[in-house]
Amino acid sequence: MNRIEARFNQLKSNGKKALIPYVTAGDPNPQVTVGLMHAMVEAGADIVELGVPFSDPMADGPVIQAACERALEHHVSLRQVLSMISEFRQKDSETPVIIMGYLNPIEVLGYEAFSKMAVEAGVDGVLTVDMPPEEGHDFFQALSDVNIAPIFLLAPTSNAQRIEKITAMGRGFVYYVSLKGVTGVKSIDIDEVTNKLNELRQFTDLPIGVGFGIRDAESAKSVAAVADAVVVGSSIVKRIEALKDAPEKINADVSAFLAELRQAIDS
């Protein structure tokens, strides 16, 4: 059992739902990220999702694309992201950390080398947006060998055959993308989400996290009523963008926002 599974078990026993904030590593500069990770945990985050900057983040909307560009201006690489997680682990050995990104930087390192570096850094799960399960056997095996959970996305358009395949391969939790399209551009339809989650639970006992379209305390509360985890990304990244020229204010602003979400989810 890795930290993700342990955290969900702990939350379930306490009757709580997970809050999973996403930020892009190195945005708006590399010095901000580790402190922000700690601040988010203190504000109520159960799991931290850290985005690896990439030049062509095809699943992400304009907000996270811009965050990647800001990080890449500082030449933030996958190796540096792993170093940030290592630094985070010096003070926090318990909070699960997931990295989200695209396949190219991982392939450059090689699956086994990446997996070894990731587990040594303290990574618990990897979500690789553009690696389909049909093509990923060697990669997923390399992750499994070091007890890192492969996290998979499911969409409103995923059919029963696809759901069955992905849930059989996934570990940690399943990430349900509540909207068709890219991150940060639409609002969530809670009735549609509820119906789809009922379908997903026919195929898996894994916890289900819902992301895309969660913008405020109200939408977070609605999702928490039907899901096991609430994933929030673009709304946080927008706040970081607004304070990119005053980075010393980012931790307090993001923490206040997450505290609102935490209170709404727990209510």
- Active site residue ranges: 49, 60
Q: What residue type is assigned to position 80 of the chain? A: Q
What is the rounded CA–CA span in Å between residue 152 and residue 239?
27
Q: What are phi and psi of 124, to 5 degrees?
A: -110, -25
What is the rounded CA–CA span in Å between residue 179 and residue 237?
18
DSSP string, 36-69: HHHHHHHTT-SSEEEEPP-S--TT--HHHHHHHH
Q: What residue type is assigned to position 20 of the chain? A: I
